[in-house]
Amino acid sequence: MKRLLTCFFTLLLVYELPAQFRHYDYLGGGHQNEVAVTVSSASGSATGLMTIDGFPIQNQNQLADASRFLAQATLGADYATIQMTAAMGYDAWMEEQFALPPVAMLNEMFRMETIYKPILEEGEEAEEIGPNIGVNWFHAGWIDQHLKSPDLLRQKMAFSLSQIFVVNDATDLAEDFGQGLAGFYDLLSRNAFGDYQNLLTDVTLSPAMGFFLSHYDNPKADPVNNIQPDENYAREVMQLFSIGLWELNQDGSRKLDANGLFIPTYTNQDINEFAQVFTGLSNGGPNGGWGSEPITDDRRTNFVAPMRMYEEYHDRTEKVLLKGTTLPANQDGMTDILQTMVHLSTHSNTAPFISKALIQFFTTSNPSQLYIFEVAGQFRPTEQNNFQEVLKAILLNPEARVCTPTSTYTFGKLREPVVRKLNLLKAFPLSADEYENYFMQEFCYGETTGQLTGKAPSVFNFFVPSYAPPGDISTNGWVAPEFQILNSTNAIGLVNDVNRRVVSRIPFALDCNEEYVSEITEDPEFAEFYPYRQDFTEELTLTNSPTALVDRLDILLANGLLEDDTKTIMV
């Protein structure tokens, strides 16, 4: 059976724990939360509890469709969640998800440090607690929260946004002060179901983004000292965060000029004008000042408080933005920025550009023009909670929900490494440690696959949306962005990792050094410290019914897309 599981896990290349949270309550919802039943007699075995336990969906086609929906809408789900979603319906499931509050990553990293730092330092002189908390604790909190929190749709949206609005921990400062990355991720999570304009404003004022794209301590021009405003953020906020490089129609297709050429959205002069807008921002902390790093004795606010405007360093000249929009001279700096946010948010390119980017992260690398047009039609950047409507348009669109694979079928996408790993971890129950946590930083996995949250090599993310691998995909004019970080080494590495966890039963969270792994797995103390092993009890009960076992694994790991011939070979 273990070999069969390894075979199934390999399928993760091509495309939870049971979450305990309140569901909408109705008969047949698959649970008995807040449902009271009065029985006519207390005698015998009849009780209210026994007569109203819902009816989990068993129909294979319904489960397959729900599994496919959750593969698009989440970073992984277990069998119970698939059954529940099939019973609830997708609209109800999404409304329930919208109502769940975000989990603060900043709180999670501090909680993990409080628990595990003394354990790691046992027998050694404890390090003095300073104003910083290393980014390693962000990664520990991130994986723990994603394995325990029920806000599955928000997790997927925040993760997707983190690959559009990219920061990383590549500098010593960002690595030492993990608060910056955690605070930025919380910013994305808070805005995940909000509106685009507020999101773009928060991103612009984030100190993590300010340091990453160098508009923190960005002064106005000083010709005498040969100082010019930094243009980095001015360029990327247009190219990557809002309007893209080329003028677009509402369906995402590029506009053409009178000569049949693509029309650029901005020029170098436009970048220069926008750079003047983003001058004067610096330390937003309570005791901050221009030119100072956002570091105080309050560890929870360092590199988290939004940047504030220092007027003496802001360029107060007139600024001409896109399509002749003008910001008047002698306007205060924050008004300049807020008006620029409105300008970019309401630009005709932003709706199709951002809509297509989200579609590519959620459902398919090659959406049709109609799909983009319909999603962009729901994109209203200043409307409260508009991302909820955008997500509905993406996930409930007929193009996403109807699955009819043929030789010319191009819908779908490659699962990227982080998503593959979380799908595996969430598919089967995973034992926690004595603190009911998962202390798993997974740096080894990041090193071997080329992807770990917060470690994109540049502002262009781990892969670019236009990447097309050589061969049929490129020849046919399609794209497959995630293939940019797929190679023979990490593809085989995933299979080897699954084999280690499933067959050899090596616990998750151990270092990838084989000698080290062999050494510590024989040490009982380390076995207690790394108890994170998956439970395949449900699957093992089906070993005498191979058809049922393959059907279950098809739902869990292949979203019900295995063909009958493939199932027959496996059985």
DSSP letter string over 196-229? HHHHHHHHHH-HHHHHHTT-TT-PPPBGGGTB--
Cα(327)–Cα(338) distance, integer angstroms? 11
Most confident segment among 16-20, 36-40, 463-467: 463-467
Residue 532 burial (C-beta neighbours within 10 Å; 0-12, 13-18, 19+):
buried
Q: Which helix (H) or strand (E) holds 282?
A: strand 281-282
Most confident segment among 17-21, 397-401, 404-408, 559-563: 397-401
Chain segment 41-91, per-residue pLDDT in tens: 444 444 444 444 445 788 999 999 999 999 999 999 999 999 999 999 999
- The torsion angles phi and psi of 238, rounded to 5 degrees, stand at -85, -50
pLDDT at residue 112 in the model: 93
Owner of token pair 């067959």:
503
* Cα 154 from chain centroid (whole Å): 8
CB neighbour list of residue 64: distance below 8 Å, 6 or more residues apart: 554, 555, 559, 560, 561
Cα(558)–Cα(4) distance, integer angstroms? 13
Cα(550)–Cα(200) distance, integer angstroms? 45
Q: Is the pTM of this model over 0.85?
A: yes
Cα(453)–Cα(168) distance, integer angstroms? 8
Of the two residues 240 and 15, the one the predictor is more confident about is 240
Chain segment 302-311, per-residue pLDDT in tens: 999 999 999 9
The tokens describing 222, both together, are 């000083």
Q: Is the pLDDT of residue 405 over 70?
A: no
Chain segment 333-364, per-residue pLDDT in tens: 999 999 999 999 999 999 999 999 999 999 99
Percent of the chain with pLDDT over 70: 84
Are 367 and 352 a contacting pair, CB within 8 Å?
no
Structural Rg of the chain based on CA atoms: 25
Per-residue CA distances from 408 to 85, 110, 404, 478, 481 (Å): 30, 50, 10, 12, 19
* Cα 351 from chain centroid (whole Å): 20
Of the two residues 516 and 252, the one the predictor is more confident about is 252
Owner of token pair 């019914």:
545
pLDDT at residue 48 in the model: 47
Q: Is the pLDDT of residue 550 over 80?
A: yes
Cα(506)–Cα(519) distance, integer angstroms? 12
pLDDT at residue 533 in the model: 85
Average pLDDT, integer, range 143-150: 94
pLDDT at residue 500 in the model: 74
Are 146 and 155 a contacting pair, CB within 8 Å?
yes
pLDDT at residue 296 in the model: 85
Are 422 and 146 a contacting pair, CB within 8 Å?
yes
Q: Is the pLDDT of residue 15 over 50?
A: no
Q: Is the pLDDT of residue 271 over 60?
A: yes
Average pLDDT, integer, range 97-122: 92
Q: Is the pLDDT of residue 22 over 50?
A: no
Cα(222)–Cα(206) distance, integer angstroms? 25
Helices and strands of the chain, counted as H and E runs: 28, 4
Cα(221)–Cα(371) distance, integer angstroms? 44
CB atoms within 10 A of CB 319: 21
- The torsion angles phi and psi of 155, rounded to 5 degrees, stand at -55, -45
Are 531 and 432 a contacting pair, CB within 8 Å?
yes
Of the two residues 460 and 10, the one the predictor is more confident about is 460
Average pLDDT, integer, range 426-439: 91
Cα(269)–Cα(263) distance, integer angstroms? 16
